[in-house]
Amino acid sequence: MRVVTVARAWYWMLVCLSLTAASLSGCHKSSSTPNVGVVTGGTTLAIALSTDTGSTVVLAGSQMVVTATIVNDAQNKGVTWTLTGPGSLLNATTTSVTYQAPNSVIGAEFATITATSIADTTQSTAVTLTTNGTPTIPQPVLFPGNQNTNYVSYINVVGGAAPYVWTISAGKLPDGLSISNTGSSTTAIVGKPSTIGSSSFTVQVTDTDGLVATANLSLQINNQASCLLNGQYVYQLNGFVGEKTAVRAGTFSVDSAGNVTGQFDLKSSAAALASQAVNTQNLCQTYTQNFGVLPMGSTFANESFNYAVGQTLASGHMQQNDGTGQLMAGPFTQQDTTSFNLNALAGDWVFGLVGDDGQLNRLAYAGRLSLNAGGVISAGQFDSTAGSGFSPSVVNGTFAAPDTKYGRGTVTLSLGSQNFPLSYYVVDANHVWLVSNDTSTSTPRVSGQLTRQTGAGLLDATVFKMPSVMSLWGMRYAQSAPVATVGLLQLLQTSPGVVTVQSDVASEGAYDSYNLTTGQPVTMTTTGRGTLGLTIGTVSHRFVLYSDGAGGGFVVEPQSVTNNYGILRAQTILTLQNPITSFLTTYYLGGTMNPVATSPITNLAQLLIGQGSISGGITGYYVLDPPTGRMTFSASRLILGGSDVVGYVLDQKHVVLMGDSLSIQNSQIAWLEAY
């Protein structure tokens, strides 16, 4: 009999409540997310929560009644109630409680009410309520616009009560632009600006109770040919050509006139190129707000990429869009040219590599190494999905110095009996991107990262004292097509060497939502190599981890059917004693970084997340669990392989998401970056 937890039920309940509050229909519960928890020993008990308004939003100073329905509570003992966050609980009984929202709230605040079974105190269910107070407009981000080019920028209000009225109360929008007024908490500045120059204005919103919020803004309109990107950037792309793995890394520079130059390394089943030059007849274009097209024509092909860039114009996400049959996507960021030397790169590193062996057999590696100022590797060790056991193997190799123009160098990593000729591109002194660079199309094609490791020689299991999220990709071929497995796993240390893991996995057409497993053993050596034993449902897993010493690192699962590989990232926003207490409206961009299936490879140029809703390029609703940072989304269109998406808040700037697709070729993972 499978062991699950009662806590699963409330996520779907909250999503349904949010949809009901928005007058939408069609909310349904996935069959893989049961409403009951099965307790060891055969006793079935379930707690479901509901509110008297059918919503999880309450206004400041108001009250909301939360009712518990308990199934198989033989003696009708009911529940006890606890509150985390602002407000208070009144009139508590064993079946209901009244939540009193605080009187004074600016924007929105979260409070979590937990119902714990009296008959079995190990079973509990929680609901998170949002208290809306005095409306406030989080400072919007307005990218420069281009003359005679479509423009859209979203602005959101937090707090208050719908419907809302949006106006320009002072100043004037650039000619050709207007502000939308749909009555919702989100408005948009839209249109096609006709005049070059800068405009200052005040956006005002008034809620249904007459409460007002304002934001003073300015907007620059540039000439039609101007590009948002300017400077030298490094990028890394992963994807497919003809449904076979393809990897790429390189640099591009954009000058003040929008001209694009650069070079790249590409390895696929159709081409193997090293130091390929990008021609000078390429012109970067801005299409709307923070989105545009980046041509990179060369003697290899006339290629172009959609790009989305953040507020500082220093980093973003790109995706191939040229019909060449290369389905690739990944991040880009400005390079630190002062790190283009081996002295800057000397030190301890952890690394991850993922791809295939050139013959449709997936390969993934995780390890660590030390690098001296002469480029010589020492103290290197690794584990791989191709390994036959769980003992680390030795890493050897030598780094050639990077060139001073592009920050590109070469290295041959000897991983056991396998030699990997690679190019590397320096991002900065703490990050390096790797890609295969040999000239054969039938040898391994891998790409990955080097991340600076701190504390080598002194590490232990305390590296897990901060909650971390493991993002996993697995892939195998079925009938010559890639079949995907993706997962998000949160690690919460309960004592040194022991973690609780909650997981969501979309594996080859089956979605297993919110498994909670306790007492999982985790080890860590002084050099940063660790192991994690984990049972999800009836399946046992054993992961090997290489820690960067700061809560992050790389992960492989030797001997797994789908050759799982992953990235570990700390949740710096969260501790077990300090749940998320605020999550204001935030703008995000991002997309797929390590595709394990050919579709959909996603690029999200602008996404506005806040106050329970999603707007921008996608509309929908989300629910946040403040104690864990776990988020569930219901989106208006298919992203990452599903319209239902789960994710985790990693910090105030980053969210990781995965789709719950039931298609074996669609599930993906993406990172979102706030701007």
Q: What is the pLDDT of residue 184?
A: 84
d(CA 592, CA 569): 16
Q: Answer with the residue of higher pLDDT: 154 or 663.
A: 154
- Per-residue pLDDT of 16-33, as tens digits, reads 222 222 221 222 222 222
Q: Answer with the residue of higher pLDDT: 234 or 653.
A: 234
Instruction: Name the percent of the chain lying above pLDDT 90.
Output: 44
Q: What is the pLDDT of residue 361?
A: 85
Question: Is the predicted pLDDT of residue 346 greater than 90, yes or no?
Answer: yes
Q: Among residues 526, 546, 372, which one has the least CA distance to residue 455?
A: 526
Q: Which of 34-43, 90-99, 475-484, 537-546 has the lowest mean pLDDT?
A: 34-43
Question: Is the predicted pLDDT of residue 220 greater than 70, yes or no?
Answer: yes
Q: Among residues 421, 418, 394, which one has the least CA distance to residue 410?
A: 421
Per-residue confidence at 349, pLDDT binned at 50, 70, 90?
very high
- Per-residue pLDDT of 275-315, as tens digits, reads 999 987 888 988 887 889 999 999 999 999 999 998 788 99
Per-residue confidence at 388, pLDDT binned at 50, 70, 90?
low
Per-residue confidence at 578, pLDDT binned at 50, 70, 90?
low
Q: What is the pLDDT of residue 123?
A: 84
SS3 266: strand
Per-residue confidence at 662, pLDDT binned at 50, 70, 90?
low
Q: What is the pLDDT of residue 576?
A: 53
Q: What is the pLDDT of residue 330?
A: 93
Question: Is the predicted pLDDT of residue 40 greater than 60, yes or no?
Answer: no
What number is the average pLDDT over the span 245-263?
93
Q: What is the pLDDT of residue 6?
A: 26
Q: Among residues 156, 164, 155, 195, which one has the least CA distance to residue 177?
A: 195
Question: Is the predicted pLDDT of residue 51 greater than 80, yes or no?
Answer: yes
Distances 386 to 31, 364, 389, 522, 558 between C-alpha atoms, Å = 35, 8, 9, 22, 7
What number is the average pLDDT over the span 532-548?
86
Instruction: Name the percent of the chain lying above pLDDT 70.
Output: 90
Residues 6+ apart with CB under 8 A from 23: none
Distances 113 to 127, 172, 575 between C-alpha atoms, Å = 5, 45, 19
Q: Answer with the residue of higher pLDDT: 282 or 614.
A: 282
- Per-residue pLDDT of 444-501, as tens digits, reads 999 999 999 999 999 998 888 889 999 998 887 777 777 778 889 999 888 888 998 9
Q: What is the pLDDT of residue 30?
A: 28
What number is the average pLDDT over the span 555-576?
85
Q: Are 508 and 562 in contact (CB under 8 A)?
A: yes
Q: What is the pLDDT of residue 582?
A: 61
Task: Quote the Cα angle for 409-554-671, to 5°.
Answer: 90
Q: Tokens 């034993």 belong to which residue?
A: 533
* β-strands 498-507, 481-495 pairing: antiparallel
Q: Which domains does the chain have, with CATH numbers?
A: 8-132 (2.60.40.10), 145-222 (2.60.40.10), 337-452 (2.40.128.120), 461-674 (no CATH)
- Per-residue pLDDT of 104-146, as tens digits, reads 888 888 888 989 999 888 888 888 888 888 998 887 778 888 8
Q: Answer with the residue of higher pLDDT: 516 or 546.
A: 546
Q: What is the pLDDT of residue 616?
A: 73
Q: Are 413 and 422 in contact (CB under 8 A)?
A: yes
Q: Among residues 518, 517, 546, 542, which one has the least CA distance to residue 532?
A: 542
d(CA 596, CA 578): 35
Q: What is the mean pLDDT of the chain?
A: 84
Question: Is the predicted pLDDT of residue 98 greater than 90, yes or no?
Answer: yes
The total number of residues written for the chain in this structure: 675
- The first and second tokens of residue 10, run together, are 């409330």
Per-residue confidence at 8, pLDDT binned at 50, 70, 90?
very low
Q: Are 661 and 675 in contact (CB under 8 A)?
A: no
Q: What is the pLDDT of residue 44?
A: 66
The strand pairing partners of 506, in sequence order, are 486, 511
Half-sphere exposure of 367 (CA within 13 A, CB side): 28
